[in-house]
Amino acid sequence: MNSIPLQTRARVTMNDVADLAGVSKASVSRFIGDDRQLLSEAIAQRIEQAIDTLGYRPNQMARGLKRGRTRLIGMLVADIRNPYSIAVMHGVETACRKHGYSLVVCNTDRDDEQERLHLAALRSYNIEGLIVNTLGHHLDELRELHDELPMVLVDRKVDQLQSDLVGLDNIDAVNQALDHLQASGFRDILMVTEPQDGTSSRIERVEAFNAGIAARSALRGDVTETGDHLAQDLRAFLANTGHGPKAVFTGNGVATLCTTRHLHELGCQLFDDIGLIALDDLDWYPLVGSGITALAQPTHDIGVTAFECLLDRLRGDREPTRLYDFSAQLIVRGSTRRRG
């Protein structure tokens, strides 16, 4: 381990390494680049020792720009506070690190102007590829960027953008939920979703729910959204008796949190008065009552696959765009205990 102070190490240059090792600057450049095999073993050892003694840290960004490569991957997310986004992002970052890339994350906070600004910033960073998890309202900017570099969509389709898409098999997940609720004795189902606002995954889940209810004569179903009227809608749902045991199906983790909070405020006995099944499986679900039954998304695998798909495109894959649909895993807990 070297003993050069941090302030000094920050000023060490490639010339300093070359002088200490007694070699040319070109040899040092080869050593820290992709041409190390061109150096003799003796010279490579001298350079390595000089780097260690001086604590030299090459400017990877400058080297990348000189070669036309930055090894930076951009990721545009709609809401970084959403547990789904965080989990997928972790999968992407893990895969980036494994393959020698770094991840630049931009959060639009569901704001169109922020999305536009972040797209411009990502272009200025000379990213090599982009992973997108937003509504994609700035279609022209996305198209321009797509013409310059590979792009992969996560969870949400962007109309008229021909890119690979990685996400959940929403139709299968919804049908798993309805099959489980029906088999557990529930008959009256309320689906709670975040506002659809053009988000393809939310739209697919609501459409699958309506189709699934129509195909199951024993079930009655309705749909509501998070927001100012959710507490009122839940109160009305609880008060409307006569069709059989009731359950709520929440469309994602955010909807689950809102629903659980409102049910608690309404004095509902979780989960005696009402059942609950959630799409997404979050760490706090087992801690609520007897635990919340969930349809777990393989978020880590979704993130890893999104990067690997992007990497294939970076390596020259020109096959037609692909859709990667992952299946949800049903995790049964006390919130859907069997009704008599």
208 and 258 housed in the same domain: yes
Stated pTM of the model: 0.80
pLDDT of residue 7: 44
What is the C-alpha to C-alpha distance for residues 180 and 328, in angstroms, rounded to an integer?
13
The verdict on 232 and 322 lying in the same domain is no
Q: 293 and 240: one domain?
A: yes
Verify that 242 and 306 share a domain, yes or no.
no
Considering the domain architecture, whether residues 272 and 312 belong to the same structural domain is answered as no
CA 330 – CA 69 distance, rounded (Å): 43
- Residue 114: enclosing H or E segment and its boundaries? helix 112-124
Residue 117's CATH number: 3.40.50.2300
* 63 occurs within a structural domain: no
Residues 6+ apart with CB under 8 A from 108: 76, 77, 78, 79, 114, 115, 118, 134
Dihedral sign for Cα 19, 21, 24, 27, please: negative
The answer to the question of residue 111 being in a domain is yes
Are residue 51 and residue 117 in the same domain, yes or no? no
Query: Distance between CA atoms of 73 and 307, rounded to whole angstroms?
Result: 9
Q: Are residues 210 and 125 in the same domain?
A: no
State whether 220 and 161 are in the same domain.
Answer: no
CA dist., res. 159 & res. 110, Å (int): 17
What's the number of domains the chain is made of?
3
pLDDT of residue 61: 54
> CATH number, domain at 37?
1.10.260.40
| The 3-state secondary structure of 177-195, one letter per residue | HHHHHHHCCCCEEEEEECC
CA angle, residues 29, 31, 32, in degrees to nearest 5: 70
DSSP string, 4-59: --HHHHTT--HHHHHHHHTS-HHHHHHHHTT-GGGS-HHHHHHHHHHHHHHT----
Type of residue numbered 317: D
38 with 138, same domain?
no
Contacts of 271 (CB under 8 A, 6+ apart): 289, 290, 334, 335, 336, 337
Question: CA-to-CA distance for 289 and 259, rounded, in angstroms?
Answer: 14
Q: Check residue 241 and give its pLDDT.
A: 84
Residue ranges making up the domain that contains 33: 6-58
List, run by run, the mean pLDDT of 10-residue segments along the chain (340 residues): 46 88 89 76 90 78 59 93 93 93 92 90 90 85 89 90 95 98 97 92 97 97 97 95 92 96 92 95 95 97 97 93 96 92
CA angle 224, 230, 231 (to 5 degrees): 140
On whether residue 269 sits in a domain, the answer given is yes
Q: Do 118 and 193 belong to one domain?
A: no
In a domain, 1, yes or no: no
Give the Cα-Cα-Cα angle 269, 273, 274 (nearest 5 degrees). 110
